[in-house]
Amino acid sequence: MLERLLILFALMLTVQSAGAVTIYKFTDADGVVSFSDRPTPGASVMVFRDRMVERIDGQVHLSVRREKGVHSLYVRNDLYAPVEVELKLSSVTNVLGVSGSSATLRRTIPARSNQRVVVLSPKVGELRLGAEFNPG
């Protein structure tokens, strides 16, 4: 069993390294810079030193719009990638739009968009909101 696990681990490492692509930078006699995945005489290997740090906490927002007794919950995604949103509604009593006293709603919000997640039409009752954002 341990041998199979080690073989699987070695295969996974091999597959991961095969996915990495080397990029070459070449400048011709006219000063034109070209990039390629194939080595060319005189080309140098590009080394990327950029550190991509993306803070999703300030780029995914939950907002509540109230009109005529109806609460609409919107999620705005300012990221360049889709985000999976998990919206937890608890202590929901006498509210149309959610079944039961608590509900968990999951939606995938496309990149750079603003979408309505749920519409709540409250009767006399109370409502507490909580949200979690996962890039993906």
Top-confidence residue, 32 or 14: 32
Are 41 and 103 in a shared domain? no
Q: Which residues pair with 132 in a beta bridge?
A: 86
Q: Is residue 55 part of a domain?
A: no
Question: Is residue 50 in a domain?
Answer: no
Does 69 lie in the same domain as 18? no
The CATH code of the domain that includes 70 is: 2.60.40.10
- Stretch 86-90: mean pLDDT, rounded? 87
pLDDT at 65: 93
DSSP assignment letter at 78: -
pLDDT value at residue 93: 73
Statement to judge: residues 68 and 105 lie in one domain:
yes
Token pair listed for 29: 């006699």
d(CA 90, CA 88): 6
The answer to pTM > 0.85 is no
Among residues of the chain, what percentage have pLDDT more than 90?
Answer: 21
Q: Tell me if 133 sits within 8 A of 85, measured CB to CB.
A: yes
Least confident of 21-35, 38-52, 71-85, 119-133: 119-133
Mean pLDDT, residues 84-108: 82
Number of separate domains in the chain = 2
Domain match, 101 and 74 both = yes
- Residue 8 has what pLDDT? 60
Mean pLDDT across 14-39? 80
pLDDT of residue 116: 92
pLDDT at position 2 is 62
- 16 and 75 both lie in a single domain: no
Using 50, 70 and 90 to split pLDDT, how confident is the model at 112? very high
Same domain, 122 and 68: yes
Structural domain including 129 reads: 60-135
**Does residue 54 fall inside a structural domain?**
no
Q: Give how far the C-alpha of residue 123 lies from the chain's centroid of Cα atoms, to the nearest Å.
A: 35
